[in-house]
A and B are shown apart, each in its own frame.
Chain A
């Protein structure tokens, strides 16, 4: 079984400041890793994913994340946030060794960007 821990339930930042949203996972097998964003009253939108290769992954809207296997982490970063980045962010994993499987999500981190 897999589990995902998002260490901060809420992260307040000022506009144009950098931000890091933390994600750690636990799994007995290798996993693929994902970050999703959820704007108010909407579904989930994929920001980026790590499947293999370079551990630094770039996604949409200027976000990037770095996979660290030894620390079982996949932290999300953005060098300069905008008001429009205010949303809930979810980290998720899928095991790589299953013919089919489903996403296991963390509880989410609310990013609050103020002027």
Chain B
């Protein structure tokens, strides 16, 4: 049973560039959440997608946007990259909601130089 798959695993971008990260949820899951984990910190919630719509958003600027496709996979886009965007980006999928049925991917390590 495939879990959550994220791609790429690592990438390096230059300040001001744009980046797209991808996530395939666990089979049977319909909800995708994205988290940013800076070095030495806990994951911070970016946004959550359900039925192809952004259902909830954390305290992140509009430079961070996303999309969910009919097959429940998702993309995270970040525009005008800043050095401070360097982090591990985690995707978590679930069926519905809150009782802890979140499965996390291994993350994408983004380095902005």
Contact = CB atoms under 8 A, between A and B. Distances in A.
Interface residues of A, number: 28
A102 B42 contact: no
Contact of B98 (A36, A42, A95, A108): A95
A90 B98 CA distance: 17
Contacts of A102: 33, 45, 48, 56, 58
A95 B44 CA distance: 16
Interface in A45-92: 45-46, 49, 51, 90, 92
Contacts of A51: 99-100
A103 interface: yes
Contacts of B31: 100
B53 to A, nearest CB: 12
A67 B45 CA distance: 24
B98 A101 contact: yes
Contact of A100 (B41, B43, B44, B98): B98
B50 interface: yes
Interface of chain B, helix or strand or loop or mixed? Answer: loop
Contacts of B56: 100-102
Nearest to A107: B42
Interface residues of B, number: 26
Contacts, number: 69
Contacts of B102: 46, 103
A99 B97 contact: yes
B106 interface: yes
24 contacts: A32-B98, A41-B106, A42-B107, A43-B4, A43-B90, A43-B106, A43-B107, A45-B104, A46-B100, A51-B100, A90-B43, A92-B42, A94-B100, A96-B98, A100-B48, A100-B55, A100-B98, A101-B97, A102-B56, A104-B45, A105-B43, A106-B42, A107-B40, A107-B42
Given A98-B97, A101-B56, 15 more contacts: A36-B104, A41-B106, A44-B90, A46-B100, A90-B43, A94-B98, A95-B98, A100-B98, A102-B33, A102-B48, A102-B56, A104-B45, A106-B42, A107-B42, A108-B42
